[in-house]
Homo-oligomer: A and B are copies of this chain.
Amino acid sequence: MSKSVSVLTPGETVACCSPLVSSPLPQETAEQIAPLLKALADPVRLRLLSLVAAHADGEACVCDLNDAFDLSQPTISHHLKVLHESGLLERSKRGVWVFYRVQRAALADLAALIGGGL
């Protein structure tokens, strides 16, 4: 599918193209990062994450989160599961309640990757 370019001298490279200056994301890396972004790429999950982050001690219980949306409890539970399995939310059960806490490091890594020209 890709045209061989190895026999061309620099001056002969196709007219439209400029050379690479830094190395692009390897496919493997891209496939690791995409699921993280996918987990983040939903308005409900963005608000969930932000709601958890906004809580006093950095964690919020599900009962609290459920009431913040006009969505069924299973739907919220599903979104929390997605965020948890992607590594963006940490989970801990205390008594009858389940608490979620933001994994700041994961968010920071993502931000660094996006902010730093990829």
Contacts and interface: CB of A to CB of B under 8 A. Distances in A.
Interface of A: 1-3, 14, 16-25, 27, 30-31, 33-35, 37-38, 40-44, 46-47, 49-51, 53-57, 59-61, 63-64, 67-70, 97, 99, 102, 104, 107-108, 110-112, 114-118
A56 B19 CA distance: 6
A96 to B, nearest CB: 8
Nearest to A21: B56
A95 to B, nearest CB: 8
Contact of A37 (B30, B37, B50, B97): B37
Given A19-B56, A54-B23, A67 B1 contact: yes
